[in-house]
Amino acid sequence: MNILKAAGRNLLFLLMTLILASFSTREQPDQNFHLYLLVGQSNMAGRGVLTTEYQNISQPNVMMLNKEGQWVLASHPLHFDKPARAGVGPGLSFGLEMAKANPSIRIGLIPCAVGGTAIASWEPGAMDPVTKKYPYDDAITRLRLAMKSGVIKGIIWHQGEANSRPERAAGYLEKLETLIGRLRENAKDKNLPFVAGELGRYRDTYQLVNDQLKQLPSKVKNTAIASSEGLVHKGDNTHFDAASATELGKRFAAQMIILQQKK
């Protein structure tokens, strides 16, 4: 059994080496390497408990752009915004579902979420006062780097907990519309599919943002909402547990596929 496991690891390493070598020698973006931008705050970054079960999830056709700007095999945790808190989020299961839907292509995930960020931090030149990061600017830098290797096919967004007070929720939808326009402009696709995830339904104040998110598909073309119905928190009344984050990723993928088929 140990011999079989070792052989499996060696085969996976060989496949990864061949894939990464193809990226380094390619002059033009690979049309069969589909890229997805993952943006938002901590529930996109992932705070689910990272057990051995989740640590071992990967698939050779699903890659991620790491902190150093290199393509590596995608695995939990995808994000690196707050390493001590990083855990299971929706991004990996989203990528796995997108790969399953089209086995002939590779998936490239571009993790850019930053925990705790309000939507005001997702504007050009804006620095998040808590993390001292520039979420929007950093995301655009990583997007442009990734687009040298593949073709951007969509964006998934989960954010709003930091805007779930009356004074912060006002005008949220308008800010999100503006953000979508800017991201699409940088992606050079004015109809790029965009899926926003609902906040957890376990905290009443989150409904302030969810009520606005419901209006997004009627306001902005080629957008959709991934439902949070039935999802639960990990005990802190804020962050999805690992199973819920995984399910949310699948819901993101289902909505993304629908948008792409319509497009």
Q: How far out from the chain centre does Cα 245 lie? A: 11
Q: Is the pLDDT of residue 183 over 80?
A: yes
Domains of the chain, first to last:
29-262 (3.40.50.1110)
Residue written as token pair 């109809």: 191
Query: Residue 263's pLDDT is what?
Result: 76
- For residue 77, say if its preceding peptide bond is cis, omega within 30 degrees of 0: yes
Q: Is the pLDDT of residue 10 over 60?
A: no
Query: Residue 20's pLDDT is what?
Result: 53
How far is the C-alpha of 223 from the C-alpha of 31, rounded, in Å?
A: 23
Q: Is the pLDDT of residue 14 over 80?
A: no
Q: Is the pLDDT of residue 86 over 90?
A: yes
Query: Residue 92's pLDDT is what?
Result: 98
Residue 119 Ramachandran class (φ > 0 left, ψ -120 to 50 alpha, else beta): alpha
Q: What is the pLDDT of residues 105-133, one digit of tens each?
A: 999 999 999 999 999 999 999 999 888 89
**Cα-based distances in Å from 46 to 52, 130, 194:** 16, 18, 19
Q: Enter the tokens of residue 174.
A: 């308008």
Mean pLDDT of the chain: 92
Q: What is the pLDDT of residues 28-45, one digit of tens each?
A: 999 999 999 999 999 999
